[in-house]
Every structure is written in structure tokens, then in C-alpha cells.
Amino acid sequence: MKKVTVFTKNNCMQCKMTKKFLTAHNIAFEEKNINTNPEYVDYLKDQGFQAVPVVEINGEDSISGFRPDALKQLAV
């Protein structure tokens, strides 16, 4: 089973769509909200991201934004 982490923020439509997609496809994930845990902002910036959602899958490449095409591969 792949470990999926989703970095989100409050009132983010793409974040909501990403979480809804993962849930609908029975993909377990851990959510890390940058509003409640601002230390994640520096972590994401260090990774080269400037916006959420960011989806991390184990040690593989991360997915930025709502990308159903890339997220579908997790459901396999």
C-alpha cells in the first residue's frame, strides 16, 4: 500500500476536489493542512512548491494541483 500525503489549506477548491477524488477511489491518505500547521509551508517551499494541493506518494514524484489523470494511477 502506498503512503499518500495531501498538503492542503482552508477554502481551497482544488484541495477539496483532490480529497474527494481520493476518497471516491478508496485511496487512503493523510491530510496536512498548512493553515493549522504553518511549518509545512517551509517544507513545501523547500520542495519547490508555491501552491497547494500537493500530493506526495512514498518517495515518488509529487503531484501539484488537482490532477485526476495522475491520481487515477494510485487507484490501480
Q: Look at residue 60 in the predicted model and tell me its pLDDT.
A: 73
C-alpha of 54 from chain center? 4
Q: Count of residues for the chain?
A: 76
Q: Look at residue 1 in the predicted model and tell me its pLDDT.
A: 62
Q: For 17-37, what is each residue's pLDDT tens digit?
A: 999 999 999 999 999 999 999
Asked if omega into 68 is within 30° of 0 (cis), the reply is no
- 2-26 average pLDDT score: 95
Q: For 32-76, what is each residue's pLDDT tens digit?
A: 999 999 999 999 999 999 999 999 998 677 999 999 999 988 876
| Ordered alpha helix ranges (H), 1-76 | 13-24, 39-46, 68-71
